[in-house]
Amino acid sequence: MDINNILITSGAIGGVGLTCGTALALAAKFLAVKEDPRVEAMDEILPGANCGGCGFAGCADYAKAVVLDGAAINLCAPGGNEVLELIAEAMGQEASAEEKRVAVVMCAGDSEKAPRKHLYNGVADCTAAAAVAGGDKLCKYGCLGYGSCARVCPSGAIEFKNGVAIVHPDLCISCSACVRACPRNLIKMVPVSKTIHVVCSSKDKGPIVKKACQVGCIGCRMCLKLAGDAFEMEGFLALRNYDIPVENELIVEKCPGKCIVKCGASEAPSPEATEPTPSEPSTEPAEATTEGQT
């Protein structure tokens, strides 16, 4: 082989590499986007959960929005008041402490209390199950139990008990990811200090509710009579008004539908008060099977 051909080829390749390298070096110098050091400092303050609860793609995007666009400084729920104070200090703003909010599943109709109308054999996902004839549960408002909420929860705060989702408040980081994942809008964010909930979302009349679930709201208005403005009606469904405390907790025992429950700050809402809470919550959803649903 001619040595000249080797030298020419090597020189050509080297020349192309040198030219490309020089071009990249010049581009990096003259076309570089300068980062505001305050953005990096703000990103270090945030918890790094990247849950999207603030409305931005992640903590980095939220840091940019706060520093460069003047976004609200109180949107990071997982960080709590500690992070809020650090952000306020960095931005030279005042911040007022806010009560932590936790997710509560407004449904207690498990596999023993809420029958299913047909057997679902498909992807174990609530959105997919809801797309098949409106879901396999007889109550068209109830928890389907296929784990869409648990799969998006970054803290493992959601477990499944007899085919219904339950959130453990002590593990919830207030990111609202489960709220966005539920196709039936059953999960609400409520102040952690509020311990009495209406765990039913059915808007049907009483006789229809009784056929579909043993722990559903029948629209009797008993809660309004005993607890006044702490509850309100939306059609045939009683709703908890969390702005007003419940003075008469007797409503928990007197509720004919057994859908009003009380739980402590570290307990998951459940109509079964005697049922023990496991120390390690399970996030296993109901399985899609033709052999029956649990």
DSSP-derived secondary structure for 29-69: HHSPPPPPHHHHHHHHHS------TTSSSSHHHHHHHHHHH
Mark which of 91, 115, 133 sits at the end of a domain.
Answer: 91
294 belongs to a structural domain: no
Mean residue pLDDT of the chain comes to 87
Tell me: do 79 and 213 sit in the same domain: no
60 belongs to a structural domain: yes
pTM of structure: 0.77
Residue 134: enclosing H or E segment and its boundaries? none
CATH of the domain at 110: 3.30.70.20
Average pLDDT over residues 54-75: 93
Tell me: do 109 and 241 sit in the same domain: yes
6 belongs to a structural domain: no
Tell me: do 127 and 212 sit in the same domain: yes
Tell me: do 43 and 183 sit in the same domain: no
Tell me: do 150 and 258 sit in the same domain: yes
Q: How many domains does the chain have?
A: 2
Tell me: do 134 and 236 sit in the same domain: yes
209 belongs to a structural domain: yes
Tell me: do 107 and 252 sit in the same domain: yes
Question: What single DSSP character describes residue 166?
Answer: E
Tell me: do 166 and 225 sit in the same domain: yes
pLDDT recorded at residue 181: 96
Tell me: do 84 and 111 sit in the same domain: no
119 belongs to a structural domain: yes
Strands 187-191 and 101-105: antiparallel
112 belongs to a structural domain: yes
Six token digits for residue 139: 């109550």
Rounded Cα distance between 63 and 44, Å, is: 9
Tell me: do 111 and 61 sit in the same domain: no
Residue 48: give the domain boundaries: 37-91
- pLDDT tens digits for range 165-214: 999 999 999 999 999 999 999 999 999 999 999 999 999 999 999 999 99
Tell me: do 237 and 122 sit in the same domain: yes
Please list, in sequence order, all residues whose beta carbon lies within 8 angstroms of the beta carbon of residue 80, skipping any fewer than 6 positions away. 100, 174
Least confident among 11-20, 30-39, 236-245, 262-271: 262-271
| pLDDT over threshold 90, residue 234 | yes
Contact 115, 91 (CB under 8 A): no
CATH of the domain at 41: 1.10.15.40
Average pLDDT over residues 241-270: 86
pLDDT recorded at residue 239: 97
Q: Measure the CA angle with vertex 108, ends 199 and 149; round to 5°.
A: 95
- pLDDT tens digits for range 3-21: 877 878 888 898 898 999 8
Confidence of residue 58 (pLDDT cuts 50, 70, 90): very high
Task: Give the DSSP per-residue string, 3-17.
Answer: HHHHHHHHHHHHHHH
163 belongs to a structural domain: yes
For residue 73, give the nearest of 86, 84, 58 by alpha carbon.
Answer: 84
Confidence of residue 286 (pLDDT cuts 50, 70, 90): low
Q: What does residue 228 show for φ and ψ, rounded to 5 degrees?
A: 60, -130
Burial class (CB in 10 A: 0-12, 13-18, 19+), 275: exposed
Tell me: do 81 and 110 sit in the same domain: no
Q: Percentage of the chain surpassing pLDDT 70? A: 89
What Cα–Cα distance (Å) separates residue 2 from each residue in 7, 8, 9, 15, 16? 9, 10, 11, 20, 22
59 belongs to a structural domain: yes
Average pLDDT over residues 32-57: 88
